[in-house]
Amino acid sequence: MQPTVTPTPRRRLRLWPKRRLWKIVTSIALVLVLLLLTSSGTGYYLISKSLPVVEGTLKLHGLDKPVTVWRDDHGVPHIEATDEHDLYLAQGYVTAQDRMFQMDLSRRQASGELSEVVGEKALSRDKFFRTFGLRRAAEASLSAYSQEAKQVLDWYAQGVNAYIAQAKADSSLPIEFTLLGYQPRDWSAVDSLTIGKYMAFDLGGHWQEQAFHYDLAQHLSSEKALDLFPSYPVDAPTIIQAMKDHPLDVGPLLAEAVKPNPFNGSNNWVVSGSKTASGKPLLANDPHLSLNTPSIWYETNLKAPTLNVSGVIFAGIPGIILGHNDHIAWGVTNVGPDVQDLYMEKRNPANENEFEYQGKWEPAQVIHEEIKVKDAAAVPYDVRITRHGPIISEFANDKNSDTVLSMKWTALQPSSELEAVQRFAKATNWEEFKQALTYFQTPAQNFVFASQDGTIAYRANGLIPIRTKGDASTPVPGWTGEYEWQGFIPWEELPTTVNPPSGYIATANNKVVGDDYKYHLSNVWAQPYREKEISQTLAGKSGLTAEDMQKLQFDPTNLQAKEFLPILTGAVQKQKDKLRDIDLAALKVLFDWDARDTLDAGGSLVYNLWESELPNVLFKPELSEETMALFEDKAGTVDHLIRNAANGKPGPWVQEKGGLDAVALTSFQRAVDRAVELQGKDASKWNWGDFHQVPFHHPLAAVKPLDLLFDPAKTPVPGSKVTVEAAGWDTTNGEVNHGGAWRTVVDLSNLTQTYNVVGPGQSGHLLSPWYDDQVKDWTTGGYHVTSTDPKVYQQKAKQLTLTP
Query: What is the tens place of the pLDDT at every residue in 792-801?
Result: 999 989 999 9
Which alpha helices (H) appear in 487-601, and where do they start and end? 529-539, 546-553, 559-573, 581-592
Contact at 8 Å (CB) between 160 and 96? yes
Per-residue pLDDT at 234: 65
Per-residue pLDDT at 10: 38
How far are the Cα atoms of 177, 183, 257, 293, 571 from residue 105, in angstroms, in the given order?
Answer: 10, 11, 19, 13, 49
DSSP state of 43: H
Neighbouring CB atoms inside 10 A of 351's CB total 11
CA–CA dist 442, 204 (Å, integer): 10
Amino acid present at 47? I
Handedness of CA 510, 513, 516, 522 (dihedral sign): negative
Check whether 13 has a pLDDT greater than 50. Answer: no
Check whether 289 has a pLDDT greater than 50. Answer: yes
Question: Please, is 158 exposed, middle or buried when counting C-beta atoms within 10 Å of its C-beta (0-12, 13-18, 19+)?
Answer: buried
Q: What contacts 643, CB < 8 A, 6 or more positions away? A: 567
Per-residue pLDDT at 602: 98
Which alpha helices (H) appear in 268-374, and where do they start and end? none
Per-residue pLDDT at 248: 84
Check whether 3 has a pLDDT greater than 60. Answer: no
Does residue 490 have a cis peptide bond before it, meaning omega lies within 30 degrees of 0? Answer: no
Contact at 8 Å (CB) between 578 and 598? no
Share of the chain above pLDDT 70, in %: 94
Comparing 754 with 471, the larger pLDDT belongs to: 754
DSSP state of 490: -
Check whether 356 has a pLDDT greater than 60. Answer: yes
Share of the chain above pLDDT 90, in %: 84
pLDDT digits (tens, 9 = 90+) for 158-194: 999 999 999 999 999 999 999 999 999 999 999 999 9
CA–CA dist 156, 193 (Å, integer): 12
Partners of 467 in the beta sheet?
Answer: 485
Contact at 8 Å (CB) between 363 and 354? yes
Q: What contacts 107, CB < 8 A, 6 or more positions away? A: 113, 191, 194, 195, 316
The HSE-up count of residue 362 (CA atoms within 13 Å, CB side) is 17
Comparing 597 with 401, the larger pLDDT belongs to: 597
Q: What contacts 559, CB < 8 A, 6 or more positions away? A: 529, 532, 533, 595, 722
Contact at 8 Å (CB) between 420 and 437? yes
**Coil, helix or strand for 484?**
coil
Dump strand ranges (E) for 131-273. Answer: 265-271
Partners of 499 in the beta sheet?
Answer: none
Q: What is the CA radius of gyration of the chain?
A: 27
Does residue 414 have a cis peptide bond before it, meaning omega lies within 30 degrees of 0? Answer: no
Partners of 288 in the beta sheet?
Answer: 265, 740
Which alpha helices (H) appear in 65-141, and where do they start and end? 84-111, 115-118, 123-132, 134-141
CA–CA dist 694, 735 (Å, integer): 6
For the chain, give every domain's residue range: 1-555+746-804, 559-595+600-691
β-strand 715-716 against 693-694: which pairing, if any? antiparallel
Amino acid present at 91? Q
Dump strand ranges (E) for 232-296. Answer: 265-271, 282-290
Least confident piece of the model among 196-205, 276-285, 474-483: 196-205
CA–CA dist 126, 130 (Å, integer): 6
Check whether 2 has a pLDDT greater than 60. Answer: no
How far are the Cα atoms of 348, 383, 789 from residue 356, in angstroms, in the given order?
Answer: 7, 18, 63
Range 766-770 average pLDDT: 95
CA–CA dist 214, 499 (Å, integer): 43
Q: What contacts 31, CB < 8 A, 6 or more positions away? A: 43, 705, 706, 709
Give 232's pLDDT tier (boundaries 50, 70, 90).
low
Check whether 326 has a pLDDT greater than 80. Answer: yes
Check whether 491 has a pLDDT greater than 70. Answer: yes
Burial 498-515 (b: 16+ CB within 10 A, else e): eeeeebbbbbbbbbbeee
Contact at 8 Å (CB) between 449 and 328? yes
Q: What contacts 267, CB < 8 A, 6 or more positions away? A: 284, 285, 286, 288, 333, 506, 507, 508, 530, 534, 553, 724, 726, 740
pLDDT digits (tens, 9 = 90+) for 14-35: 344 444 544 554 455 455 444 4
Least confident piece of the model among 136-145, 400-409, 560-569, 652-661: 400-409
Amino acid present at 169? A
Partners of 735 in the beta sheet?
Answer: 693
Check whether 4 has a pLDDT greater than 80. Answer: no
Per CATH, domain 1-555+746-804 is 3.40.50.800: no
Give 401's pLDDT tier (boundaries 50, 70, 90).
confident
pLDDT digits (tens, 9 = 90+) for 52-88: 999 999 999 999 999 999 999 999 999 999 999 999 9
Neighbouring CB atoms inside 10 A of 121's CB total 12
CA–CA dist 98, 770 (Å, integer): 10
CA–CA dist 122, 120 (Å, integer): 5
Whole-number mean pLDDT of the chain?
92
Tell me which residue of 800, 758, 797, 776 sits closest to 311, measured CA to CA.
758
pLDDT digits (tens, 9 = 90+) for 647-688: 999 999 999 999 999 999 999 999 999 999 999 999 999 999
Contact at 8 Å (CB) between 24 and 767? yes
559-595+600-691: CATH topology is: 1.10.1400
**Coil, helix or strand for 103?**
helix
DSSP state of 574: T
Range 260-265 average pLDDT: 84
pLDDT digits (tens, 9 = 90+) for 421-438: 999 999 999 999 999 999
**Coil, helix or strand for 703?**
coil
Determine the distance from the C-alpha atom of residue 154 to the mean position of all C-alpha atoms in its chain, rounded to a whole number: 26
Angle between helices 189-202 and 134-141 (to 10 degrees): 130
CA–CA dist 799, 442 (Å, integer): 37
pLDDT digits (tens, 9 = 90+) for 577-589: 999 999 999 999 9
CA–CA dist 125, 130 (Å, integer): 9
Q: What are the two backbone dihedrals, phi and then psi, of residue 539, each rounded to the nearest 5 degrees? A: -70, -30
Handedness of CA 534, 535, 540, 545 (dihedral sign): positive
Most confident of 119-128, 197-206, 467-476, 624-633: 119-128
- List Cβ<8 Å contacts ≥24 apart for 237-242: 239/470, 239/474, 239/476, 240/474, 242/344, 242/476, 242/477
Contact at 8 Å (CB) between 694 and 717? yes
Residues across the chain: 804
Q: What are the two backbone dihedrals, phi and then psi, of residue 803, each rounded to the nearest 5 degrees? A: -120, 155
How far are the Cα atoms of 508, 550, 725, 756 from residue 781, in angstroms, in the given order?
Answer: 19, 7, 9, 10
Tell me which residue of 498, 564, 630, 610 sits closest to 215, measured CA to CA.
630
Per-residue pLDDT at 626: 85
**Coil, helix or strand for 445?**
strand
CA–CA dist 263, 266 (Å, integer): 9
SS3 content of the chain, % helix, strand, coil (to 5): 40, 20, 40
CA–CA dist 738, 341 (Å, integer): 26
Range 517-530 average pLDDT: 94
pTM, two decimals, is: 0.93
**Coil, helix or strand for 264?**
coil
Per-residue pLDDT at 41: 46
Range 468-493 average pLDDT: 94
CA–CA dist 486, 520 (Å, integer): 13
